[in-house]
Amino acid sequence: MYLLVILLWVSAVLAGSQTVSTDGIINLVKRRLPDHAGDFEFRFIGNVTEFPLTGQPAIDEYSVSSTPDGKILVEGNSPIALASGLHRYLTDTLHIDIWWYIGSRLDLAPESLPPLDVPMNGTSVVPWRYFFNTVTFSYTAAFWTWEDWELELDWLALRGVNLPLAWVGYEKTLLDTFKELGMTDAEIPPFFSGPAFQAWNRFGNIQGSWEGELPMEWIDNQFELQKNITTRMVELGMTPVLPCITGFVPSAITRVLPNAMVVNGSQWDGFPVEYTDVAFLEPVDPAFAELQKSFISKQAAAYGNITHIYTLDQYIENTPYSGDLDYLRNVSYSTSQSLKSADPDAIWLMQGWLFFEDEAFWNSDRIEAYLGGVENNDDMLVLDLFSESVPQWQRTNSYFGKPWIWCQLHDYGQNMGLYGQIMNVTINPIDALATSPSLVGFGLSMEGQEGNEIMYDLLLDQAWSGSPIETETYFHNWVTRRYAGNGSIPDQLYSGWESMRSTVYNNTDLSNAKAVTRSILEISPNITGMVGRTVQNGGTTVNYDPEVLVSAFHTMFYAANTNPALWENPAYLYDMVDVTRQVYSNYFLSSYLSLISAYNSTPHSNATIAAAAQNITNILNTLDSVLSTNSAFSLSTWLNAARSMTTNETLADFYEYNARNQITLWGPNGEISDYASKSWGGLANGYYLPRWEIFFNYLEETEIGSYNETALNERLFQFELPWQNSTSVHGSPMGPSGSLQSILNGLVGSLGSR
């Protein structure tokens, strides 16, 4: 029965016909394994239903075997099934892969590919494997080039992702739609937010930019980039999820539509009214459907008729104008009808985040009314965005029958703490699959891509297993391919990762930590409120014994004594920086507590405060030197990516401001300061250390009874605000400060209990 439901639903999603092709996977091999382009054969088998536009079948299946003439034969019933089969051979037989921040390691394939004595077979347990959060496009991909996107899309294809979000270039289509309505260039671009903040403009949280205006050069270039992205997605066999009209509009729209039903959204996170309270065109207004038709037709003309699935979120951290059930039902009904008028086969994809984020508003009746406005269940697809920690599907009765996807959010603001929930990510989706008849996919909805890559691999691989993955074996095999393992992999690496698997990546105490944590070193200093934060988006609580990670560090470090070639292995270099970063982040806590204890002691001892402050300074300087050895942990990488988006120095300064502001103040006056904080070289000693030094000085000159948080914050802001407008040329020095091996050799003896 379950399979029948899935088949019927996916069949309803895709209408029309497009012939499937092996070109995408063949081209991927040519890109990543050019020396073996002739060693693979790809063939469609089974029920290759030529669904419209993508050729995506309901359940993917593959088989990998050897041909009599020595080729590796990959057979499957869809292009993504072929990619998944290829990935299985590359990882399980050749022990090689493509990685975030490290790049493709597929060039390590042996000269002669080993044959298979027994075929490898795989079947997905869900039809959809979803990827991206709207905000990932700002936290991670804001300044990506086509080269970055090529690597990302190959990573997605090999891991079986077939439903990726595709937001790039949205502003160009929206601009042209508004101009067709009669609005002017003076009214539209000022509505758009800067490159690092576009996601929240698309959500209707913010409007405009607090430093400059989004230039047409950016809008046009992103539009051209999106053409490459969507073309490649389709070539690889994916169904892109494209944007559409949400209803958020420039307030000047009332000039051309004086009788339009326009209401103000809600204020967002304390932003000044000029940057929030975004105008919302009510979907019941006839103009809404007309704009929708215009937008979708322009988008199809630009990218082709490549999908029927559209992302549309109206109330992400926005409160609806009314809580009346008929109002909510009419909003969603009219929104759905606008999509259908533009594309009769349209499917509305929405995040279920709103039902958790504003649970007080979204009671069961209001959720049912809003979802019920979409009369045909198959016309909507809901992302249960944070399933591993706060799933909403149970309390919403499986979204009242709407098809939905079990998602792992895991990370907020692209924070960088080592963290995972291996039990929840393996057991819970399989339990949900057995319980909810409308569950149709697993997905990754992280706010930012960061260093816990194994947690994302784990869920995507779970989509191919009908029972929960046994994680001990999984981690062992993952480590083998992580370090390109046809050569010798020291046992210490397996031991180090195993200790992290059972502790760092095995959080079960969701009352203290629901997602990736951050170090207090990245948070604006204070004498209270920093330790033990348990909020899901920025908690500081570490739910494991920090000494376990110190032991893992030593174990992994000494692995290079067994195999010195590890110091030339980019995966090992990345992981040693990441583990060292977390060790020092954990150390920072005890040093901070010593500082506060010294301040609170009687009598007040500036000498004791100074000693504790020096310890913190040493930690930050040491951490910065480690981070600066690797471009993946370098502020300059982020800033240079921003500046390289243009040859115009004025625009480059604007882009750099955006990049700096996002990871620090996040707003003109620090409205959500440090939300997207990073432990990066150049940031640790160029931004965080000066803030802590201001804090040290304040403590030394202020008695306990005279402590004034407002006065302290004013001092901090006097440093933070000018830092936003620095440039790479005039800012603090950034870049490698010595080889990682030499730095860690000097530290290893001192890394112990503190």
CATH 1.20.120.670 positions along the chain are: 494-750
Amino acid at 250: P
CATH topology of domain 130-487: TIM Barrel (3.20.20)
CA–CA gap between residue 597 and residue 615 (Å, rounded): 14
CA–CA gap between residue 591 and residue 98 (Å, rounded): 38
Q: Which of 41, 197, 102 lies closest to 574, judged by CA?
A: 102
C-alpha distances out from residue 403 to 113, 200, 313, 352, 461, Å: 42, 26, 16, 12, 21
76: β partners: 44, 62
Cis peptide leading into residue 344 (ω within 30°): no
- Exposure letters 598-626 (e unless 16+ CB within 10 A, then b): bbeeeeeeeebbeebbebbbebbebbbbb
- Helix (H/G/I), strand (E/B), else coil: 289: helix
CATH 3.20.20.80 positions along the chain are: 130-487
User: 470, exposed or middle or buried, with CB in 10 Å at 0-12, 13-18, 19+?
Assistant: exposed
In this predicted model, what pLDDT tens digit does every residue of 511-521 receive, in sequence order?
999 999 999 99
DSSP 637: H
Q: What are the start-end ranges of the H helices in 517-668? A: 546-562, 570-600, 606-627, 635-643, 649-663
**Domain covering 494-750 assigned CATH 3.30.410.10 in the classification:** no
Neighbouring C-beta atoms of residue 290, cutoff 10 Å? 18
pLDDT number for residue 651: 97
pLDDT number for residue 19: 73
Neighbouring C-beta atoms of residue 146, cutoff 10 Å? 11
Radius of gyration over alpha carbons of the chain, in Å? 26
Q: Which two tokens stand for residue 559?
A: 């692995």
CATH 3.30.379.10 positions along the chain are: 2-123
Residues 319/358, Cβ–Cβ less than 8 Å: yes
- Helix (H/G/I), strand (E/B), else coil: 83: helix
Block residue for tokens 């390109």: 484
pLDDT number for residue 58: 77
Residues 6+ apart with CB under 8 A from 229: 149, 153, 166, 168, 240
List, edge to edge, every strand of the sheet that includes 40-44: 40-44, 72-76, 61-66, 120-123
CA–CA gap between residue 213 and residue 448 (Å, rounded): 25
Q: Which two tokens stand for residue 36?
A: 């073996």
| Torsion 455-457-458-463 (CA) sign | positive
CATH topology of domain 2-123: Chitobiase; domain 2 (3.30.379)
Q: Which two tokens stand for residue 12?
A: 């309803």
CA–CA gap between residue 669 and residue 665 (Å, rounded): 7
CA–CA gap between residue 575 and residue 454 (Å, rounded): 12
pLDDT number for residue 5: 40
Residues 736/629, Cβ–Cβ less than 8 Å: yes
* Crossing angle of the two packed helices 689-701 and 709-724, in degrees rounded to 10: 150
C-alpha distances out from residue 116 to 41, 70, 86, 477, 578, Å: 14, 10, 13, 18, 36
pLDDT number for residue 446: 98
Residues 419/410, Cβ–Cβ less than 8 Å: yes
For residue 656, the surrounding DSSP H or E stretch is: helix 649-663
In this predicted model, what pLDDT tens digit does every residue of 343-381 receive, in sequence order?
999 999 999 999 999 999 999 999 999 999 999 999 999
Could you state, in chain order, the average pLDDT of each consecutive group of 10 residues for the chain (754 residues)? 42 50 97 98 82 61 97 97 98 98 96 97 98 98 98 98 98 98 97 98 98 97 98 97 98 97 94 97 98 98 97 97 98 98 98 97 98 97 98 98 98 97 98 97 97 98 98 98 87 98 97 95 96 87 96 97 95 98 96 95 87 96 97 97 98 97 98 97 97 97 93 98 81 58 93 60
